Amino acid sequence: MEIESARSTPMKVLVVDDSPVYRHLIKSQLEEWGYQVSVVNDGNEAWNVLQRPDSPKLVILDWVLPGITGVELCRRIRARVHAYVYTVLLTGKDRKEDWHEAMSAGADDFLSKPFDALELKARLLVGKRILDLQEALVNTRESMRYAATHDALTGLRNRGEILSFLDRELARAQREKKQFGVVLGDLDEFKSINDSLGHLFGDQVLKEVARRIASKTRVYDGVGRYGGEEFLIVLVDCDLTTTLIRAEEIRTHVASTPIQLTGKRRIVTLSMGVSIADGANPSDADRVLNLADEALYHAKRSGRNRVEHLDEGVPASR
């Protein structure tokens, strides 16, 4: 393949031209260079193709087209398509005024017909490099966003992000007058795990417990590492009974099998405190967290490895 790229599949190119001769000529040339080519003959069809999630990001289009013109397509691409699309306007127009109009409409490059094959190839390589750079920048931005919102060890939301999730759910519950469950879970005797089995084993415990908790929650629930060995779970659209049942399922699953690392193994348990946020009775994050924390403390005092809930106004004895 003549295209130098780290891509595992050829780059997709959309060719938009109402001339059968040029469609065939361009398609044959691009396929020879290793591109994956789609061909349409009018602007409306091209616009439909560009709405698809997997649409080509490199587009060669004629100026004069049935339906939507090439220049109007450029304007629509810049105004409405989220992912960057690199456009090369290939046309019989060759005045400087035409070039300026095309660039003002959002075209990335302009090439007059009849075109030179090597010149077109060079223009496409420029477009490909720009698209690869844009993809790399997007990936870097997403990596940075993930790192800023997730705990490096467990992969769960970090404290700031899970508290933001809780605030969003509180606002939603108040708008819709719904309830949701808040669960604070704390690993039992975690210090003794680190002391007796080592900090590497302790890290493995945190990662595996996080995985087990996440496996028992839904994609729209929130799970985060709240502190050192403490986890905060937000169970969307759950009343008290449902929250207690689901918290018990999580607790049972965490303790179901030993956690192992390099010949060491240990059953690990989780104490959990439950509170309910009720949108019909507006409250804030501090209140629901304090209630869950009181219930968690009661679970610890009552023997650990259990789920507890306390009615509001009945604090656990310290």
Q: Which residues are catalytic?
A: 229
d(Cα 128, Cα 228) in Å, to the nearest integer? Answer: 46
Q: Measure Cα distances from 259 to 60, 97, 256 in Å.
A: 56, 71, 10
3-state secondary structure (DSSP) of residue 306: coil
Tokens for 160, please give them: 């700031």
- By the 10 Å C-beta count (0-12 exposed, 13-18 middle, 19+ buried), 58 is classed as buried
d(Cα 164, Cα 148) in Å, to the nearest integer? Answer: 13
3-state secondary structure (DSSP) of residue 291: helix
3-state secondary structure (DSSP) of residue 66: coil
DSSP for 118-187 reads HHHHHHHHHHHHHHHHHHHHHHHHHHHHHHHHB-TTT-SB-HHHHHHHHHHHHHHHHHHT-EEEEEEEEE
d(Cα 300, Cα 92) in Å, to the nearest integer? Answer: 79
* Count of other CB atoms within 10 angstroms of residue 51: 9
- By the 10 Å C-beta count (0-12 exposed, 13-18 middle, 19+ buried), 231 is classed as buried
d(Cα 35, Cα 179) in Å, to the nearest integer? Answer: 53
